[in-house]
């Protein structure tokens, strides 16, 4: 192995940036640590404005050729990338688990297959992307999607490769070139993606990967005048900084910013189903933007719901995410663990009661927690914790349930448990959320729009909505007259 290579479970990973089809090292590095046991995985090239400028320049240089590439050829390359992901699925799964602490069984069975699906879906959608021509007083209107240009994609650490390719795939399908900046806590699978894309025949400069801290490289990317699109998934404060940085060039933004989503449980619900949905919110150690972290339960069934929830949660196994029996792994970083515990301890000091959990465990593990006796205007109810911490409040009327559900600054998702289809229709129509699940959770189709309202984001991803963002949409109007005879 070279000084720029580290090994995870036998998988060799290049620690340098990928710019213009070549590996590029930085003079400085940052340390990548596994949340499973705190072990050092390696030193990663730490990008600055220099690498940012080089990556954007490479993307700009490659853009004309990729944009002019026929749709069918772009789709073929994306399918080839999907083939590469599937070929290396086990390697990607173990590397991602080691790097971010999510369950290995989930990476094998769901997450990494979804990575491949991201590429296949947008490759296929590209080939059917069209708008039927329409007439205006005898003139023909033709709508087209023109590639916009170099795109900067900044992605989070909770599902690194899946969420990266959720952006990379449609951007490439649209004919854009990409600069991907993965989260500094989880950089490894983005480096492997660069290798897979190159092996699949993606031309040099079409996909670039730069690593580092957002505070050191982020502004150089988001303020660059040659960047035509910016897509970001992460926190509200970071999104505000990106928005300010991009404003000088009026660069269009797509922002997915998390939430504080409710789970509404009505007395007419199947309580076993409701409890199953509730316990599922501990998935990925609570590090899921869509998680319904606020339980709103009708008062008449709250005691029974809580009893069943506690019983079900007690069966969860917390431990090493590489073990097939594990249900909850570690939290990503000591800083995040401190943040989670800070939220909980402040809530307890303010009068909340921990029905279960409420404390740290060994290492970077936090006990699954459910807090009751919380006020609607309290920090623990209003702010995103991003850990295995849930709250429970009660309501007595449908009107009160909707009011409580909508009473935060977020609006990403909502989950509803009820046995009454008419109630479901009434309530979902009034919920402020980009996605509402009724008697289910986390059913996601790439054809559907995804995004949030209020502080949960700007814009939508998925299907044609993704192409609408990554393209300049053009309408060409042609008159029925004026043609010269070329016979």
Instruction: Provide CB contacts within 8 A for 132, sequence distance 6+.
Output: none
Give the helix ranges, DSSP H, for 314-386.
334-349, 379-382
Count the Cβ atoms, other than its own, within 10 Å of residue 320.
18
Same domain, 416 and 293: yes
Q: Are 200 and 76 in contact (CB under 8 A)?
A: no
Same domain, 34 and 166: yes
* Phi, psi at 424, each rounded to 5°: -60, -40
Q: Are 282 and 388 in contact (CB under 8 A)?
A: yes
Q: Which of 51, 91, 256, 384 is catalytic?
A: 256
- For residue 150, is pLDDT > 70? yes
Tell me, what's the pLDDT at 304?
Answer: 98
CA angle 228, 230, 234 (to 5 degrees): 175
User: Which tokens go with 15?
Assistant: 């620690």
Tell me, what's the pLDDT at 258?
Answer: 87
Tell me, what's the pLDDT at 26?
Answer: 96
Cα 45 from chain centre: 24
Q: Are 331 and 285 in contact (CB under 8 A)?
A: yes
3-state secondary structure of 130: coil
Same domain, 334 and 390: yes
Tell me, what's the pLDDT at 482?
Answer: 82
Can you tell me the distance from the alpha carbon of 297 to that of 119, in angstroms, rounded to the nearest whole number?
A: 40
Mean pLDDT of 246-261: 95
Same domain, 205 and 309: no
Q: Is residue 448 part of a domain?
A: no
pLDDT (tens digit, 9 = 90+) per residue, 37-95? 999 999 999 999 999 999 999 999 999 999 999 999 999 999 999 999 999 999 999 99
Instruction: Give percent of the chain with pLDDT exceeding 70.
Output: 99
Please, what is the angle between helix 398-406 and helix 421-430, to 10°? 40
Domain that holds residue 367: 262-438
CATH (domain of 71): 3.40.605.10
Same domain, 252 and 293: no
Q: Is residue 480 part of a domain?
A: no
Same domain, 220 and 365: no
Contacts 24+ apart (CB under 8 A), 7-12: 8/41, 8/94, 8/95, 8/98, 8/99, 8/188, 9/91, 9/94, 9/95, 9/98, 11/91, 11/94, 11/95, 11/192
Q: Are 103 and 159 in contact (CB under 8 A)?
A: no
Annotated catalytic, 280?
no
Is residue 219 packed enough to be buried (19+ CB in 10 Å), middle (13-18) or exposed (0-12)? middle
Same domain, 471 and 413: no
Tell me, what's the pLDDT at 114?
Answer: 96
Q: Is residue 485 part of a domain?
A: no
Mean pLDDT of 246-250: 96
Mean pLDDT of 452-472: 95
Can you tell me the distance from the alpha carbon of 104 to that of 452, in angstroms, rounded to the nearest whole number?
A: 29
CATH (domain of 351): 3.40.309.10
Can you tell me the distance from the alpha carbon of 431 to that of 198, in angstroms, rounded to the nearest whole number?
A: 44
Same domain, 331 and 193: no
Q: Are 295 and 390 in contact (CB under 8 A)?
A: yes
Q: Work out how many domains the chain is built from and give that number.
A: 2
pLDDT (tens digit, 9 = 90+) per residue, 179-226? 999 999 999 999 999 999 999 999 999 999 999 999 899 999 999 999
Residue 485's pLDDT band, with cuts at 50, 70 and 90, is confident
Same domain, 182 and 70: yes
Tell me, what's the pLDDT at 484?
Answer: 85
Same domain, 466 and 319: no
Annotated catalytic, 90?
no
Same domain, 224 and 268: no
Residue 487's pLDDT band, with cuts at 50, 70 and 90, is low
pLDDT (tens digit, 9 = 90+) per residue, 92-128? 999 999 999 999 999 999 999 999 999 999 999 999 9
Q: Is residue 447 part of a domain?
A: no
Count the Cβ atoms, other than its own, within 10 Å of residue 391.
22
Tell me, what's the pLDDT at 481?
Answer: 87
Q: Which of 91, 96, 289, 461 is catalytic?
A: 289
Residue ranges with strand state E in 336-408:
353-356, 369-372, 389-395
- For residue 2, is pLDDT > 80? no
3-state secondary structure of 370: strand
- For residue 1, is pLDDT > 60? no
Can you tell me the distance from the alpha carbon of 456 to that of 219, in angstroms, rounded to the nearest whole number?
A: 22
Count the Cβ atoms, other than its own, within 10 Å of residue 226.
14
Q: Is residue 321 part of a domain?
A: yes
Selection from 33, 32, 61, 27 nearest residue 47 by Cα: 27
DSSP lists the bridge partners of residue 393 as 296
pLDDT (tens digit, 9 = 90+) per residue, 290-340? 999 999 999 999 999 999 999 999 999 999 999 999 999 999 999 999 999
User: Which tokens go with 428?
Assistant: 């979902």
Using only C-alpha atoms, the chain has a radius of gyration, in whole angstroms, of 24
Same domain, 408 and 381: yes
């Amino acid at each position: 192995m070279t000084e720029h290579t580290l090994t995870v479970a036998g998988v060799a990973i290049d620690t340098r940036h990928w710019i213009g089809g070549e590996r590029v090292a930085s003079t400085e590095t940052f340390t990548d640590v596994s949340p499973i046991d705190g072990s050092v995985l390696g030193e990663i090239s730490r990008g600055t404005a220099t690498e940012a400028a080089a990556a954007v320049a490479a993307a700009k240089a490659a853009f004309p050729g990729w944009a002019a590439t026929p749709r069918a050829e772009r789709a073929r390359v994306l399918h080839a990338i999907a083939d590469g992901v599937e070929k290396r699925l086990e390697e990607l799964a173990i590397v991602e688990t080691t790097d971010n602490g999510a369950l290995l069984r989930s990476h094998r069975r769901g997450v990494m297959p979804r990575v491949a699906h991201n590429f296949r879906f947008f490759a296929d959608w590209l080939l059917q992307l069209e708008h039927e021509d329409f007439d205006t007083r005898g003139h023909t209107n033709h709508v087209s999607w023109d590639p916009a240009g170099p795109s900067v994609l900044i992605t989070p650490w909770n599902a690194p490769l899946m969420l990266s390719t959720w952006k990379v795939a449609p951007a490439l399908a649209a004919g854009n070139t990409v600069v991907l900046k993965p989260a500094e806590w989880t950089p490894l699978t983005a480096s492997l993606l660069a290798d897979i894309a190159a092996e699949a025949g993606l031309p040099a400069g079409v996909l670039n990967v730069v690593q580092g801290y957002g505070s050191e490289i982020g502004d150089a990317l988001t303020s660059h005048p040659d960047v035509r699109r910016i897509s970001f998934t992460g926190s509200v404060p970071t999104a505000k900084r990106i928005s300010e940085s991009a404003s000088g060039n009026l660069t269009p933004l797509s922002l997915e910013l998390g939430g504080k989503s409710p789970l509404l449980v009505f007395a007419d619900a199947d309580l076993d189903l409701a409890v199953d949905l509730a316990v599922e919110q501990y998935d990925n150690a609570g590090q899921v933007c869509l998680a319904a972290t606020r339980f709103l339960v009708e008062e008449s069934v709250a005691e029974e719901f809580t009893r069943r929830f506690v019983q079900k949660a007690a069966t969860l196994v917390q431990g090493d995410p590489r073990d097939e029996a594990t249900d909850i792994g570690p939290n990503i970083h000591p800083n995040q663990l401190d943040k989670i515990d800070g939220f909980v301890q402040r809530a307890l000091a303010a009068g909340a009661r921990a029905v279960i959990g409420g404390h740290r465990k060994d290492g970077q593990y936090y006990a699954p927690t459910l807090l009751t006796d919380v006020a609607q205007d309290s920090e623990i109810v209003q702010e995103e914790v991003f850990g295995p911490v849930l709250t429970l409040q009660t309501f007595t009327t449908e009107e009160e349930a909707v009011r409580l559900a909508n009473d935060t600054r977020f609006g990403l998702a909502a989950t509803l448990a009820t046995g009454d289809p008419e109630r479901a229709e009434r309530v979902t129509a009034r919920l402020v959320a980009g996605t509402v699940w009724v008697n289910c959770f986390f059913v996601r189709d790439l054809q559907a729009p995804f995004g949030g309202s209020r502080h949960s984001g700007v814009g939508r991803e998925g299907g044609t909505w993704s192409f609408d963002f990554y393209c300049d949409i053009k309408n060409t109007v042609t008159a029925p007259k004026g043609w010269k005879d070329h016979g």
